[in-house]
Amino acid sequence: MAENIAEGPTTTRFALHRSVWPYLILLGFVAFMAFDYHPSAKSAQVETPLALPRIRQMELSGAQWTVKRHLEVWDNVAFRGDHIEHRQGRVAVCGEVRLGADAEFQPYIVVNGRAALARDKQSDLHAVWVELCSVGGKDPQSAS
């Protein structure tokens, strides 16, 4: 009876190793492809400009919403001349806003989520407006 003891298959250890080989080959192939991959400048030029208009539009839309929130006016607001200014590491959105159909356009600035009209000389953003948004040192009072 002692001689009839069932022994498990002797190939269990070998079968485990055999099942790992395809994965190791696949891993080696993927590693070789990753090592051999060199992105071209052409692919970077194709992908980057496609995203820029969307990012720019999101930035301008956010600035317009910030101006509406600052002025606490949500209806009958018109914007024109919106543009993003980059100077000396500072980013600002400049443009003109009109509140109501019969009002005149007034220059505004948005920096770091804060908005101010150019005529608000008490605002600490007035100096930033003069630096970034005014063209040729134009006085904001003459614009309105």
Residue 2 DSSP symbol:
G
Q: What single-letter amino acid sits at 116?
A: A
Is the pLDDT reported for residue 142 higher than 50?
Answer: no
Query: Has this prediction a pTM greater than 0.85?
Result: no
Domain boundaries, the chain: 9-36, 53-143
Q: Cα dihedral sign for 138, 123, 99, 108? A: positive
Region of poorest pLDDT, from 25-34, 45-54, 126-135: 45-54
pLDDT at residue number 144: 43
Is the pLDDT reported for residue 69 higher than 70?
Answer: yes
Percent of the chain with pLDDT over 70: 72
Is the pLDDT reported for residue 24 higher than 80?
Answer: yes
pLDDT at residue number 102: 84
pLDDT at residue number 141: 47
Q: Across all residues in the chain, what is the average pLDDT?
A: 76
pLDDT at residue number 6: 63
Highest mean pLDDT among 18-22, 87-91, 103-107: 103-107
E strand map for 1-144: 77-87, 90-99, 106-111, 114-117
Q: What mean pLDDT comes out for the span 67-88?
A: 86
Percent of the chain with pLDDT over 90: 7
